[in-house]
Structure 1
Amino acid sequence: MPESKSRKKPAESRTPARNEPKPNPVWYKPVMFGLMVIGLLWILVYYISEARFPIPEIDSWNILIGFGIAIAGFLMTTRWR
């Protein structure tokens, strides 16, 4: 039995989309997760050491620093592809 001829696709569908986002670089995911983990560890060390570490002179600002580092990692997730 003869096969029917396949239809040609329109020219628009043959060309790749120009607005496709580029994939992230290889380093993006490790940095993203690393920032989240470092921020968490910063806060844990502050609480476990009873404010003696990581930087004792700034006292409660250590919590803000830890959250800032973690939030930077979470903000990177919005650009992850």
Structure 2
Amino acid sequence: MPKSRVRKKAVYTPPQKQKEVKVSPRWLAPVMVTSWILGVGWISTWYVWQDAPLLGTLQSWNLLIGFSLIIFGVILSTKWR
């Protein structure tokens, strides 16, 4: 059986591309968690204490404010790496 020839050149291997690691800004996580806490706190405070000076005048808008804060936190959580 004949011997196979040995390659004279080394096989070319392209350099590996390094992926950039995406890092979220430092302010993102605290703002996200604070938004969740404020949203849940706003809604729960309104349910417990509906005669509060500011909360009583807003009526059902309190739900919109609370859920908006919670949704804002969820939107920020999609940007977190």
Relative to the length of structure 1, the TM-score reads: 0.73
Map 1:43-62; keep pairs closer than 5 Å: 43-49=43-49, 51-53=50-52, 54-62=54-62
Largest Rg, 1 or 2: 2
Alignment root-mean-square deviation, CA: 2.1
Q: What is the CA distance between 1:9 and its match in structure 2? A: 5.3
Instruction: Report the residue type matching 1:16 in the other structure.
Output: Q
Following superposition, which runs of at least 4 residues in structure 1 exceed 6 angstroms of deviation?
A: none
Number of residue pairs aligned between Structure 1 and Structure 2: 70
TM-score normalised by structure 2 residue count:
0.73
1:32 is aligned to 2:32? yes
> Gaps (5+ residues) in structure 2?
1-10
Q: Which runs of 5+ in 1 are unaligned?
A: 1-6
**Bigger RCO of structures 1 and 2 (CA < 8 A, at least 6 apart):** 2
